[in-house]
C-alpha cells in the first residue's frame, strides 16, 4: 500500500487508481484547421483527460476533405513532431481542454496541405485528496491497481480549505505552486 509524505501546507491531489490490464475505450476528436481562429476542444463528462495520441497534419485523404482540392489532400505523410507531448502537457488531468490550433501551425509540417488536429484520448476516473498542514496524505489503491498522479497543488488555492484555527492572515495568499512532478515521482506506481 503506497503512501506519500508529510505536508507543510495544504495539498490538493488529483490522483487515480487504475488496473494495469484495464482496457479503456478511447475517444477521438478531430478539428479541421484553417487560417481563421479554430479551437480544438476535448471534454470528459466523468473523469479527466488522458491524451493517448495526437496528430497535427494529415494522415488520411478522407478526413477534413469536404470542398478541398485534391492537391491539398494528397500528402498523407504530413505530421508535426511533438504534437502528442504538447497536447498532453496542456490537457492531461483536466475535465475540459480548449486549445487554439494556432499553437500547432508553426513550423508548418507540410506547406500546401490542408491540415487537421486529431486527438485520441481517454477519460480516466480521478480521486481527489486534500491534506492540511502537518497532516499526512495516504494514497492507496486496491490490489492490482497503481497510483498515477495527474495534478497536485501545494500551498493555497482558496480561502476556505484547511482554515480551522488559522488566523485570517494565513489564508489570504491563494497563489499556489503546482508540484505535480514532485508528488508524482514520490507516489506513482
Domains parsed from the chain with CATH numbers? 10-19+125-187 (no CATH), 27-124 (2.60.120.740)
**Which is it for the CA torsion 75, 81, 85, 91, positive or negative?**
negative
Residue 21 has pLDDT above 60, yes or no: no
Mean pLDDT of all residues in 28-33:
95
User: Full-prediction pTM beyond 0.95?
Assistant: no
Rg (CA), the chain: 21
Pair 96, 45: CB distance under 8 Å: no
Lowest-pLDDT choice from 22-31, 70-79, 100-109:
22-31
pLDDT band at 139, cuts 50/70/90?
Answer: confident
What pLDDT is stored for residue 136 in this prediction? 83
Asked if residue 66 has a cis previous peptide bond (ω within 30° of 0), the answer is no
pLDDT band at 5, cuts 50/70/90?
Answer: very low
Spatial neighbors of 61 by CB under 8 A, at least 6 apart, are 73, 74, 76
Mean pLDDT (the chain) is 80
Amino acid at each position: 500500500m503506497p503512501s506519500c509524505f508529510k505536508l507543510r501546507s495544504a495539498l490538493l491531489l488529483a490522483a487515480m487508481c487504475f488496473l494495469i490490464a484495464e482496457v479503456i475505450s478511447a475517444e477521438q476528436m478531430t478539428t479541421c484547421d484553417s487560417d481563421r481562429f479554430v479551437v480544438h476542444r476535448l471534454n470528459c463528462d466523468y473523469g479527466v483527460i488522458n491524451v493517448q495520441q495526437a496528430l497535427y497534419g494529415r494522415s488520411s485523404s478522407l478526413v477534413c476533405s469536404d470542398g478541398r482540392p485534391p492537391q491539398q489532400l494528397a500528402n498523407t505523410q504530413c505530421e508535426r513532431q511533438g504534437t502528442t507531448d504538447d497536447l498532453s502537457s496542456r490537457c492531461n488531468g483536466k475535465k475540459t481542454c480548449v486549445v487554439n490550433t494556432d499553437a500547432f501551425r508553426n513550423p508548418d509540417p507540410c506547406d500546401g496541405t490542408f491540415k487537421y488536429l486529431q486527438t485520441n484520448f481517454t477519460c480516466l476516473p480521478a480521486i481527489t485528496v486534500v491534506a492540511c498542514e502537518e497532516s499526512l496524505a495516504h494514497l492507496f489503491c486496491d490490489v492490482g491497481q497503481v497510483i498515477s498522479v495527474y495534478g497536485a497543488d501545494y500551498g493555497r488555492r482558496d480561502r476556505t480549505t484547511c482554515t480551522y484555527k488559522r488566523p485570517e492572515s494565513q489564508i489570504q495568499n491563494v497563489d499556489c505552486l503546482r508540484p505535480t512532478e514532485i508528488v508524482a515521482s514520490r507516489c506513482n506506481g
